[in-house]
C-alpha cells in the first residue's frame, strides 16, 4: 500500500474539516467573517506547502537525473577510489596506500573472498601515496585466479603502535545505475560505489 505523504494528508484533512464546518454552521449564526478569512489563509498556506513539496520532489529527481547522465561519461574510464577491493586481472593488480605518521614497518595482506590470507609481504614505505603491484601469486608462488580480493595494509611505528592507513584501487567503470535516489558506479570487479565519492579519473 502506497504511503501518503504527511503534508498531503494534513491538506486533505484540513479541507474535509473546513467543508464540514461550512456545511454544518448555524444559518442564524454564520461563521464570523474574520475567522473565515483566517481559515482561508491557512488553507492557502497548506496548499502552497503541498505544491512546494511536489516541486522539491521534481527538483530532486531532475538533479539525480543530471548526475546520472554526467556519470555515463565515466563508462569505460579508469577511476581511482578509496577501497579495499582489489581486482586481479591478467595475473596482476595495482593498489596504492598512504600512512599517517612515520612507520618502521609496513605489511600488506591479500585475502580471498572467504577472508583467508593468500599473500602477505613486508614493504618499505617511501612516504606519500605509494603504489604496489601484486603479481597474483600466493605465498607459495602459485598463480591465483583473476577476480576480486581484499587488500589490507598495516603499519606500525618504532614503538609498535598501529598507524592509520588508507588504500586506493584503480578500476574500470562498467555500468552506471540509479539506486535509492543515488547514482552508483559499477566497477569491473562488481564493486558498487557512490558517484559522489572522491575519485581520480584516468
CATH, residue 159: 2.60.40.4070
**Can you give the residue range of the structural domain that contains 167?**
75-201
- d(C-alpha 159, C-alpha 202), whole Å: 39
What pLDDT is recorded for position 8? 52
Split into its structural domains, the chain has a count of: 2
> What three-state secondary structure class fits 166?
strand
Residue 25 lies in a domain: no
Q: Residue 29 falls within a domain, yes or no?
A: no
Answer whether residue 22 is part of any domain: no
182's grid cell? 543515488
Whether residues 111 and 177 share a domain: the answer is: yes
Question: What does the pLDDT profile of the chain (202 residues) look like in tens digits?
Answer: 444 445 455 556 666 766 766 666 655 555 555 665 566 566 666 556 656 666 666 655 555 454 455 667 788 888 888 999 999 999 999 999 999 999 999 999 999 989 999 999 999 999 899 999 999 999 999 999 999 999 999 999 999 999 999 999 988 888 888 887 788 888 888 888 888 888 788 6
Residues 132 and 80 in one domain: yes
Do 43 and 99 reside in the same domain of the chain?
no
- How many Cβ atoms are within 10 Å of 144's Cβ, its own excluded? 17
Question: 146 and 80: one domain?
Answer: yes
pTM of the model: 0.61
pLDDT at 85: 92
Q: How far apart are CA 43 and CA 35, in angstroms?
A: 12
Amino acid at each position: 500500500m502506497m504511503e501518503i505523504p504527511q503534508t498531503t494528508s494534513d491538506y486533505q484533512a484540513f479541507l474535509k474539516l473546513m467543508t464540514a464546518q461550512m456545511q454544518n454552521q448555524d444559518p442564524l449564526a454564520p461563521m464570523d467573517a474574520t475567522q473565515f478569512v483566517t481559515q482561508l489563509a491557512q488553507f492557502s498556506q497548506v496548499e502552497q506547502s503541498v505544491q512546494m513539496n511536489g516541486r522539491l520532489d521534481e527538483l530532486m529527481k531532475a538533479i539525480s537525473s543530471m548526475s546520472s547522465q554526467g556519470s555515463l561519461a565515466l563508462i569505460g574510464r579508469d577511476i581511482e577510489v578509496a577501497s579495499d577491493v582489489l581486482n586481479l586481472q591478467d595475473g596482476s593488480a595495482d593498489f596504492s596506500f598512504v600512512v599517517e605518521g612515520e612507520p618502521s614497518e609496513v605489511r600488506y595482506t591479500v585475502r580471498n573472498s572467504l577472508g583467508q590470507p593468500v599473500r602477505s609481504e613486508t614493504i618499505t614505505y617511501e612516504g606519500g601515496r605509494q603504489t604496489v603491484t601484486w603479481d597474483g601469486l600466493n605465498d607459495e608462488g602459485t598463480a591465483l585466479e583473476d577476480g576480486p580480493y581484499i587488500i589490507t595494509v598495516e603499519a606500525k611505528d618504532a614503538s609498535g603502535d598501529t598507524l592509520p592507513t588508507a588504500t586506493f584501487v584503480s578500476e574500470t567503470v562498467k555500468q552506471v545505475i540509479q539506486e535509492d535516489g543515488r547514482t552508483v558506479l559499477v566497477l569491473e570487479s562488481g564493486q558498487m560505489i557512490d558517484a559522489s565519492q572522491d575519485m581520480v579519473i584516468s
